[in-house]
Amino acid sequence: MSTPESTPDGAADAAAPAAAEGTPPLVELADVSKFYGNIKALEGVSLEVHAGEITCVLGDNGAGKSTLIKIIAGLHQHDGGRFAIEGEEARLSSPREALDRGIATVYQDLAVVPLMPVWRNFFLGSEPTKGAGPFKRLDVQLMRETTRAELLRMGIDLRDVDQPIGTLSGGERQCVAIARAVYFGAKVLVLDEPTAALGVKQSGVVLKYVAAARDAGLGVVLITHNPHHAYLVGDRFVLLKRGTMAGRHTKQEIALDELTRQMAGGSELEQLSHELARAPEPSHLGGHPTH
């Protein structure tokens, strides 16, 4: 498994088109739709996730990002279109099935136990044991050593893996979750607004490890409403608006300014700017205004 420093940016960019041409996407959605009764949550949404690439899904609240995550993560099934994993059409019935197929989802409100140590949260639900019968017990030493080693492999140098995970910053907790997904064999990593509640410095830390997951060969889906964060690491961009696609681009096809303009609403924003413009003051008849 590669470390963050092992793959130069140029090499990653050069490898991306080859991966796209030679093998089917790790995950592909084609004209996928989802309805809740008469409510349209998604309609006609398409995206591709390739190994060693980051696909960014951008949209404001209510754009359909959460529904898209739930379909990829196995929480909900799509009603129309095609959902394929490594070229094979799929209809996931649970998050466990998604994990078994190599899709790990890290939600914004991380599922951690704050008072438990970092190593215990790293293995939560998948704890290794040693011994047999009445002597069977958790292999605490293995979990401590593995957690420390895997975090270092991702470039995360924690002072103490015995400290409660609740004492870590939001960015550090996100990074532990990313390292955990990589260790447990994820091929696709779905990140739900990982920088939404973070400051500039912590956001930069998280984006660094998102790039590290990409360089380790994973296909990453980065859900965000921040075009600046998306453009820093993204290879592909899908823009959602009210459950439909407002745009689909590769990094070579779009500049940050245009991505930001489309994300902000483009012509709608210009219209709003016009409506909010201060009306010119009425001219005064008969010369100079009185004070």
3 pLDDT above the threshold of 50: no
For position 9, what pLDDT does the model report?
Answer: 44
Distances from the Cα of 104 to the Cαs of 33, 70, 131, in angstroms?
22, 12, 30
Chain segment 122-155, per-residue pLDDT in tens: 998 888 898 888 889 989 999 999 999 999 888 8
289/91 Cα distance (integer angstroms)? 72
Report if residue 143 sits inside a domain: no
Q: How many domains does the chain have?
A: 1
Report if residue 65 sits inside a domain: yes
Share of residues in the chain with pLDDT > 90 (%): 54
Q: What is the pTM of this model?
A: 0.80
Chain segment 62-101, per-residue pLDDT in tens: 889 999 999 999 999 999 999 999 999 999 999 999 999 9
Instruction: Tell me what the mean pLDDT of segment 175-191 comes to.
Output: 92
Report if residue 286 sits inside a domain: no
The CATH number of whichever domain residue 52 belongs to comes to: 3.40.50.300
234 pLDDT above the threshold of 90: yes
Report if residue 283 sits inside a domain: no
25 pLDDT above the threshold of 60: yes
Place of tokens 């380790």: 216
Question: How many CA atoms within 13 Å lie on the side-chain side of 122?
Answer: 29
And the tokens for 85? 């994993």
And the tokens for 168? 């870590």
For position 287, what pLDDT does the model report?
Answer: 56
Specify the DSSP class assigned to residue 290.
P
Domain that holds residue 198: 9-113+187-273
Element (DSSP H or E) covering residue 48? strand 39-49
Share of residues in the chain with pLDDT > 70 (%): 84
Lowest mean pLDDT among 20-24, 25-29, 208-212: 20-24
13 pLDDT above the threshold of 50: no
Report if residue 158 sits inside a domain: no
CA 215, distance to chain mean position in Å, is 15
Report if residue 99 sits inside a domain: yes
For position 282, what pLDDT does the model report?
Answer: 62
Chain segment 151-171, per-residue pLDDT in tens: 988 888 887 999 999 998 888
Report if residue 163 sits inside a domain: no
Mean pLDDT of the chain: 85
Report if residue 177 sits inside a domain: no
Chain segment 248-291, per-residue pLDDT in tens: 999 999 999 999 988 876 555 566 566 677 666 665 555 555 55
For residue 149, count CB atoms less than 10 angstroms from its CB and return exposed for 0-12, middle for 13-18, buried for 19 or more. exposed
